[in-house]
Structure 1
Amino acid sequence: MTVTPLQALPVERLRQRSSTKWRTYPDEVLPLFVAETDFPLAPGITKRLATAVELGDTGYTPPDPGIRDAFSAFARRRFDWEVTPARVRSTCDVMMGVTEILRAVTEPGDRVVVTPPVYPPFYDSVPEAGAVVERVPLARTETGWELDLAGIDAALAGGARGVLLCNPHNPTGTVHTRESLAALAEIVDRHGAFVVSDEIHAPLTHAPAVFTPFLAASDAAARVGYAVTSASKAFNLAGLKCALMVTASPETQRVVDALPDEVEWRTGLFGALAGLVAFDESSDEWLDSLLAALEHNRRLLAELLTEHVPGARYVIPDAGYLAWVDLSALGWGDNPARKILRDAKVALHFGPKFGAEGAGHVRINIGCSPEVLTEAVRRIGALVD
């Protein structure tokens, strides 16, 4: 069945938004940095939020707004993953969930492995929880990136207490294989450690890649793992504040159930209402249309870089709408996004923010119209000697 790609909103309409993407830089700058998309909301979400505003339904989030069951059904439908609703608990956003779980499973000074280049807030959430970051960079392969399992094994053997996983990985867009995740779980289980898996980009996995939830990778993964996820990336709901903490064993469930009540009270009511609709089957058609639009853009970017920015190195991502591009060959320094912002008036995410491995790199948000993406790359190309 052919799926019609979702159409992005016109730039003049987008500039009426008040979010970070459209308020950080002046109008002459094309913003392709922060992880917000330029598409209209799924119709069911718009309708549900409009009804809530009309009713003045802006009070406290109830103990069970229905999102646990909705996510369980979504996970079964989209990932072939059986999630027990009683093992799902909500909070404000993914990084808050990550931080609170880390706080519960570590002691002050414990080391937690991260796998750079990786989402910059990982470097903040670990110390916020009282732990210390231990870096085990992704291994670069001929076709992309993968977990350095031997490096993680060595770090845990050396005393690290656990792993903060990004699955799918931001910024590379890597979808870790079931085999890799199962091998990670065996290593972690052997060392008596844990994995906290950020799975916020999971709904945006592009075929033929197949997303494997960490908790479903193996029996060992179910024992040692915690997953934190949200509808916010796929459905552009970051400002509404609702994430889900998921477990798959009695032991890990007890840890999450023992978190302070305030962790769950921080869930935004509008986030829960919007997430409930996002995870409903009625929104699947919209999500498939979004994926079709992103499928076009991730390949369009490859063509544009080849034409306008020779020397750029780009591996088409397995998931998401964030592209990791190596511009080292252009000689624009460790942080080429600064030159691009100043001289091309295009805002990209700074590569070094993702770790030392990000030197010479930029992250480009392709969750926009093909026209905006084309104009942005043409502007960057004009800077190439």
Structure 2
Amino acid sequence: MSVLSVRNKYFDDLFNTPDLVWMGQNTNHIPAHPAVTGAMIASISAGEFNAYAPPLGFEELRAAMVADLGVPGMQALVTEGGVNALSLICKARAKPGTTFVTTDPTWKWPCQFAAQSGAEIVQLPIYGPEIGYRLSPETLEAAVDDRCAIIYLVDPNNPLGICYTRDEIVAFAKIAQKVGALLVHDCTYRDFAEGHTPVLAVQPENTVCSVSFSKWLGLAGLRVGGLIARPELIEEFAAVNNAVLGGSVVAQRAAIAGLKVKAEWMAEVLRIDHANKARVKAAAEAVGMTVPVYPSNGNFLVIELGDIGVTPEAIVEAARRDGVMIRQGAYHTAAFGSRFIKVSTTVPEDWARKLADNLARYVEEAKSLTDVPALF
């Protein structure tokens, strides 16, 4: 069986596991707001799915996305999830002879997209307390030159959870302008941050923000996200979009409804998220692990294993056998992945309680596991 087939079966088995505690993909499993489910039911009942959506997305959603980011004068392109939004950027700008500069750890898929287009991938290590688990403007400036086509910044960082300051965003934008690179600001987790500055708010020239409805609103399976930028950049990215018949009508109706109730919704999401983080952190520290970035500005925690004598993969497998999905660090980074596991926290509190109550047992069981399968 090919690696792709093994990977697909792995996730198919997880998806079809009854009552799975899904805490490994930063997805939001808090029961949806009634306005969102109501909008989807109304759309389905009206048969809206029989027709194609506008190619750039519903105008109401496009305007609401720009307003939500707080960047008047920009335009939005609605895409089939945040990952597809980023693939358009790489398709448009990543070419042979150029570089794609990002951090390590980062989100892996844009690196793959850029490499497929022929760009050289440059990853700058940020995993370590000595540098605050963050990229410095000085490190970025030393790594870029006129070959750099794209600077990709995940902020808050996935998986570390650090969030860059306004001054840092300004500095990164100046560096990008100096070498003529497109600065891509992946804002997927911004709604979980204590404070967040979209690059478009400080430098709209040759910058773009990507957004997603998977994490804060819980629409991962519906696939809806987007890009926000100046009109000429939206035209450039739309020109290479294969989804010329628009995205999911039902997903867009859910996204519109979600933005209308966002303040109310996020207050409850953040309450649950913070409580789950505290519970998981306490359980991790009780068995000798540490949480290097706390509070995390994403809906997840990185948990360092230290010297407890077990691998991330073994803990992930022990948890999976108990119906709990968490993630091994190697998913995010080959260089640092052996140090940590990652746990998502926008889940029902009973889920977080199950993980916390059983984490010590998972560690003990992991020590004797000799048949850990391939993980993805």
For this structure pair, what is the TM-score category when the shorter chain's length is used for normalisation?
A: 0.7 to 0.9
In the alignment, does 2:14 pair up with 1:35?
A: no
Alpha carbons 2:36, 2:257 under 8 Å: kept: yes
- Aligned counterpart, 1:323: 301
What's the CA shift for 1:172? 1.1
Within 5 Å, which residues of 2 pair with 1:257-268? 259-260=239-240, 262-268=242-248
- Give the aligned CA root-mean-square deviation in angstroms: 2.6
- Aligned counterpart, 1:293: 272
In the alignment, does 2:180 pair up with 1:200?
A: no
Give CA deviations for 1:193-218 in whole Å, capped at 9, x if unaligned.
Answer: 1111211112222xxx20111221x2
Partners of 1:32 and 1:141 in 2: CA distance: 25
Alpha carbons 1:305, 1:312 under 8 Å: kept: yes
Partners of 1:29 and 1:241 in 2: CA distance: 21
Give CA deviations for 1:47-86 in whole Å, capped at 9, x if unaligned.
Answer: 11111111111121135521011123323xxxxx22335x
Give CA deviations for 1:355-374 in whole Å, capped at 9, x if unaligned.
Answer: 12222211101122333223
- Aligned counterpart, 2:206: 224
- Aligned counterpart, 2:169: 181
Partners of 2:298 and 2:12 in 1: CA distance: 17
Please say which of residues 341-350 and 367-376 is displaced more in the overlay. 341-350
- Aligned counterpart, 1:54: 45
In the alignment, does 2:110 pair up with 1:128?
A: no
Alpha carbons 2:312, 2:328 under 8 Å: kept: no
- Secondary structure at the aligned position of 2:53 is classed as coil
In the alignment, does 2:103 pair up with 1:115?
A: yes
Partners of 1:142 and 1:348 in 2: CA distance: 27
Partners of 1:26 and 1:375 in 2: CA distance: 16
- Secondary structure at the aligned position of 1:311 is classed as coil
Partners of 1:195 and 1:149 in 2: CA distance: 13
- Aligned counterpart, 2:141: 153
In the alignment, does 2:65 pair up with 1:83?
A: no
Partners of 1:261 and 1:21 in 2: CA distance: 28
Change (3 A) 1:72 1:22: farther
- Secondary structure at the aligned position of 1:222 is classed as coil
* TM-score, normalisation: structure 2: 0.84
Within 5 Å, which residues of 2 pair with 1:333-352? 333=311, 335-341=313-319, 346-352=324-330
Give CA deviations for 1:254-281 in whole Å, capped at 9, x if unaligned.
Answer: 5335x2464453421112111111112x
Aligned residues with identical type, % of pairs: 20
Alpha carbons 1:95, 1:121 under 8 Å: kept: yes
In the alignment, does 2:357 pair up with 1:372?
A: no
What's the CA shift for 1:192? 1.4
Partners of 1:24 and 1:261 in 2: CA distance: 29
Long gaps (5+) in structure 2:
1-10, 368-376
Q: Which amino acid aligns with 1:83?
A: P
Q: Which amino acid aligns with 1:126?
A: A
Change (3 A) 1:52 1:25: closer
Q: Which amino acid aligns with 1:94?
A: G
- Aligned counterpart, 2:254: 274
